Amino acid sequence: MVGVQEQYEVFPYPERDPEDEAKRLITGSPSHPVEMDHFLWSGQRDWSVPLRVLVAGGGTGDGLVQLAQSLASAGRPHEITYVDLSTASREIAEARIAKRGLTGVRFVTGSLLEAPDLGEFDYIDCCGVLHHLPEPDEGFAALRAAVAPGGGMGMMVYAPYGRSGVYPLQEAFGAVLEGLGPKERLAAAKKIVAGLPKGHPFAANVNLGDHHQSDAGFYDLLLHSQDRAYGVNDLCGALDRTGWALASFTTPALYDLARIAPVPEGMSARDQMANAEKLRGTMKMHTAYVVPEGQVVKPARGTNRQLVPHLRGAQARSLARAVAQRKEIPVSHGSVQASVRLPKEAAGVIAGIDGRRSIAEILAGTRLDPLSGGALWMKVEAALEPWGLMLYSGLLRR
């Protein structure tokens, strides 16, 4: 059996070329500072205070580079520690940071289980790692021991329903390809997958694409020696056992049962999210922010007019133009397609969102009276925030 560390030495994942840093920045969830602020600190973090970050199981560096570049571009002080078992992955991550001329990053080769020995951190990024540990709860607990009071973690773990067909193949490949080296296993598995009947659960699964993108993606998806998926209840159970609490999934609308079906009276919030996951049926991962158990996190809400809104994945002017023309705003998340509609008069306030002005300043620039302006703003928030399209943070505020 090819072990996890050996796999990532041969096939660092995700496959990245440091030369590409000159032409693009890969962004996403979790671990964009604006999103972190929104979900962990109610949109009110004091960014003049240095942010201490641990990137736990950082791989080839997507989360690391996003964090380091975003904080550097905003001129915010930070100290980042990266840790990963794979030397090959670490070298790629280091090269990407060097290519961008970024500083303030400490690189460590080791296990995230050693996190408490590396320091105390305001924020921990752990994306796509915990589900690969022999005992994932040990990883959750180690990271909990490394988070500072008031801090939190952005994480991603695999979800079961969108990965239908993956686990029978992993199990079978583990048995029939036993004894082969990583490259031989890859070649043999590719031939088998190419011959799968159309009705095979994996062949019919349109939610997955890593196996088409690179050898590293194919290996990570179908030949991994240690891999498990978490349903909502499984994930919440792991958090309960290890001293964490769910702050929020990054796209709350996906987990909102009321958007899909009637909500039975008395059904708990956790069971509502679990049933929404089952009814969606296509989620292949859960991306969330978590905090130490007992730590109260108040959602960032526009009732606090001093918060600074940001639009994600859209330019304010183009979005405002669409709203002014009474067009529906398409929303896409994986295979989930939806749309939101806002009143025409919302175009003016949307056009004012620049990541620097507060809600109060945006509303002051309109002809709306305070009561009407506030009501309109809450409609904008209700439409965009649950889909992760609008977030609150003072990151760029001076």
Which residue ranges form the domains of the chain, and what is each CATH number?
4-161+227-292 (3.40.50.150), 309-392 (no CATH)
Say yes or no to pLDDT of 196 above 90.
Answer: yes
Say yes or no to pLDDT of 262 above 90.
Answer: yes
Supply the Cα-derived Rg of the chain in whole angstroms: 22
Which residue pairs, CB below 8 angstroms and at least 24 apart, start in 141-145?
Answer: 141/242, 141/243, 142/112, 142/113, 142/114, 142/115, 142/116, 143/54, 143/56, 143/112, 143/115, 144/242, 144/243, 144/244, 144/292, 145/115, 145/116
- Residue with the larger pLDDT of the pair 314 and 1: 314
Predicted confidence at residue 377, as pLDDT, reads 97
Can you state the angle between helices 182-194 and 215-222, rounded to 10 degrees?
A: 80
For residue 122, the surrounding DSSP H or E stretch is strand 121-127
Is residue 252 very low, low, confident or very high in pLDDT (cuts 50, 70, 90)? very high
Residue 249 has which token pair?
């999934």
Say yes or no to pLDDT of 228 above 80.
Answer: yes
- Residue pointed to by tokens 């180690």: 142
Q: Which of 284, 216, 228 is nearest to 60 (CA)?
A: 216
User: Which range, of 99-113, 277-291, 308-322, averages the lowest pLDDT?
Assistant: 308-322
For the residues 186-211, what does the mean pLDDT come to?
95
Predicted confidence at residue 317, as pLDDT, reads 85
Is residue 309 very low, low, confident or very high in pLDDT (cuts 50, 70, 90)? very high
Structure confidence by residue, pLDDT tens digits, 341-397: 999 999 999 999 999 999 999 999 998 998 999 999 999 999 999 999 999 999 999
What length does the chain have?
A: 398
Predicted confidence at residue 272, as pLDDT, reads 98
Predicted confidence at residue 313, as pLDDT, reads 78
β partners of residue 391: 310
Q: Across all residues in the chain, what is the average pLDDT?
A: 96
For the residues 279-290, what does the mean pLDDT come to?
97
For residue 249, the surrounding DSSP H or E stretch is strand 244-249
Say yes or no to pLDDT of 171 above 60.
Answer: yes
**Helical segments of the chain, H only:** 4-10, 33-40, 62-73, 87-99, 115-118, 136-146, 166-176, 182-194, 210-213, 215-222, 232-241, 269-280, 316-324, 347-351, 359-364, 370-384
For the residues 155-166, what does the mean pLDDT come to?
97
| Residue 80: φ, ψ to 5° | -120, 130
What is the pairing mode between strands 336-340 and 329-333?
antiparallel
Using CA atoms of 29, 34, 39, 45 in order, give the dihedral in degrees to the nearest 10.
150
Structure confidence by residue, pLDDT tens digits, 138-150: 999 999 999 999 9
Q: Which of 55, 66, 65 is nearest to 143 (CA)?
A: 55
Cα distances (angstroms) measured from residue 372 to each of 261, 326, 345: 32, 19, 11
For the residues 1-24, what does the mean pLDDT come to?
91
Say yes or no to pLDDT of 1 above 60.
Answer: no
For the residues 280-305, what does the mean pLDDT come to?
96
Structure confidence by residue, pLDDT tens digits, 112-130: 999 999 999 999 999 999 9
- Residue pointed to by tokens 């590409």: 20
Residue 39 has which token pair?
């979900």
